[in-house]
Amino acid sequence: MTTRYDWTVDEAVAIHDAPLFELIDRARAVHTARHPKGEVQLCTLLSVKTGGCPEDCAYCPQSAHYDTEVGREGMLDVASVLGAADRAREAGSTRFCMGAAWRQVKDGPEFDKVLEMVRGVKARGLEACCTLGMITEDQARRLKEAGLDAYNHNLDTSRDNYRSIIKTRTFDDRLVTLRNVRSAGITVCSGGIIGMGESVRDRCAMLVELARMSPHPESVPVNALVRVEGTPLEALPPIDPLELVRMIATARILMPSAKVRLSAGRTDLPREAQLLCLYAGANSIFYGDRLLTTPNPDVSEDQSLLEVAGLAPLAPSATEA
Ligand code: SAM
Ligand code: DTB
Ligand code: SF4
């Protein structure tokens, strides 16, 4: 099986729209060829700086443009972040992702604190990931020096659909940050959201944008929109769970070696649909009862999810960078 970097949107749509069992069979074959069968990486998220974000992302409860239940909070201190990292590790997570509601990183004391958090997370033997908005090449280099493994920066939707979701930055701004991350030697985590009113073609175009990068992103989160009161997208209908299965299977086929993460939206997803996503190519979930500002399934529910499927959390030793 070769890894391709020249996928077209037409090809991706044909894969996505194939009869469901054909799609799942194909994705499963790619998955088992490239990844240990019964392994799922557990990642824990923590919002280290919540709310008051100047960007206008239509899905986001943290945007200052919308009146949601999420208020602007100060930055967490390093000790409480590292306390959360300890608890995440004890619960079985091997990756710890710190998020900040920033448009872009500003050099100064807050960024220095993030660097300290990264060093602390690494000292605990966890993979360290950050998602802080746009970063420069120099900031990426400093994060790398602190030991950062991965940077999350989602494309979220297709280039064509971008302006209907976010007006305060462009799709190309996103690509520049991803390039800065890559050139600093940090692994790339980039994916998107379904359920924002986009077409199947938009979904596939977003995946193709990622799948034409060489190397592919090491990590591709697929989120289902969490519809939050006060955001412009609050009243959209929920997705059909099988749409998520198709999206994950398509991501798996286009980017065979990536970790495909079944991300936000699991609280509304029946257990059987989650299992189908894990069968069709997802090999990671967010673990812990919060995402950044919204709920995630309880840890006990997730333990039983993995148990019924005979899946095991990826062991820490296998992930140390
Ligand atoms: N501010 C940084 C940025 O936008 O890159 C980092 C944090 S931001 C909350 C990280 C990602 O969370 C977004 O790119 C988006 O894909 C996802 N996200 C935010 N709100 C969401 C929602 N309501 N439903 C699903 N995913 C969401
Ligand atoms: C990603 O793609 N999904 C995560 C993580 N990367 C940072 C965030 C989901 C956020 C969902 C809304 C919230 O909890 O605020
Ligand atoms: Fe800000 Fe990120 Fe939310 Fe957009 S997704 S409003 S950049 S926190």
pLDDT tens profile 6-37: 999 999 999 999 999 999 999 999 999 999 88
CB contact at 8 A, 41 and 314 = yes
- The rounded distance, in Å, linking the Cα atoms of 281 and 262 is 9
Q: Is 204 a catalytic residue?
A: no
Ligand 2 in reach of 152 Cβ (< 6 A):
yes
Give residue 318's pLDDT: 44
- Confidence band of 252 (pLDDT split at 50, 70, 90): very high
- SS3 at position 223: strand
Q: Quote the percentage of the chain above a pLDDT of 70.
A: 98
Q: Ligand 3 center to residue 53 CA distance, Å?
A: 6
Give residue 36's pLDDT: 87
Of 91-105, 280-294, 307-321, least confident by mean pLDDT is: 307-321
Q: Is 189 a catalytic residue?
A: yes
Give residue 173's pLDDT: 97
pTM of the model: 0.97
Give residue 317's pLDDT: 56
Ligand 3 in reach of 165 Cβ (< 6 A):
no
Residue 299 Cα distances to 9, 52, 278, 287, angstroms: 37, 29, 17, 7
Mean pLDDT of the chain: 96
Q: Ligand 3 center to residue 308 CA distance, Å?
A: 35
Ligand 3 in reach of 228 Cβ (< 6 A):
no
pLDDT tens, position by position, 214-249: 999 999 999 999 999 999 999 999 999 999 999 999
Q: What is the mean pLDDT of residues 276-280?
A: 97
Ligand with an atom nearest the CA of residue 62: 3
- CA–chain centroid gap for 279, Å, is 18
pLDDT above 50 (res 321): no
166 or 321, which is more confident? 166
CATH of domain 9-307: 3.20.20.70
- Confidence band of 320 (pLDDT split at 50, 70, 90): very low
